[in-house]
Amino acid sequence: MGRVRQDESDGPPAINEVALRGRASAPGEERTLPSGDVIVTLRVVVPREGTAARRAAGGAEVRRPSVDTIDVVCWTARTRRAALRLAAGDGVEVGGALRRRFYGGPAGRQSRYEVEAASVRRVAKGAPVAS
């Protein structure tokens, strides 16, 4: 049986868009890669909605805040500058795409997911999400 190749026109268009609103866990960190490229990395902490309650000793319900900490990498001069202006705790909005990066580590080849920022901007904490 022949192999069927799915053409992009055969289905819905592919989408890889990420929109985050949270707070910077620390100031952005600038690094120069072996290739000579300069990047800025930061971590964005985003609270999870609807975190389940847990039972504490004695049976009382305790709600623990649950968050996702998401790695963001800034490649363009504009996003690097914006990320470097952030301080720990600042509200931040990031738009971009999810990327999987491969690198060599002590245990061999490894990978991780991160958001490649197309836009970074400081926002007031608790600001409404733009649609």
Does 102 score more than 80 pLDDT?
Answer: yes
Strands 108-123 and 67-74, by their bridges, are parallel
Average pLDDT over residues 43-58: 75
Does 103 score more than 90 pLDDT?
Answer: no
DSSP states along 107-120 = TEEEEEEEEEEEEE
* Tokens standing for residue 78: 């504009």
Does 42 score more than 60 pLDDT?
Answer: yes
Q: What are phi and psi of 118, to 5 degrees?
A: -100, -25
Q: Whole-prediction pTM value? A: 0.75
SS3 for 24-62, per residue? ECCCCEEEECCCCCEEEEEEEEEECCCCCCEECCCCCEE
Rounded Cα distance, 30 and 74, in Å: 9
* Tokens standing for residue 127: 């600001």
What is 16-51+64-101's CATH topology?
OB fold (Dihydrolipoamide Acetyltransferase, E2P) (2.40.50)
Helices marked H in 11-76: none
Residue 86 near residue 28 (C-beta atoms within 8 A): yes
Rounded Cα distance, 87 and 84, in Å: 8
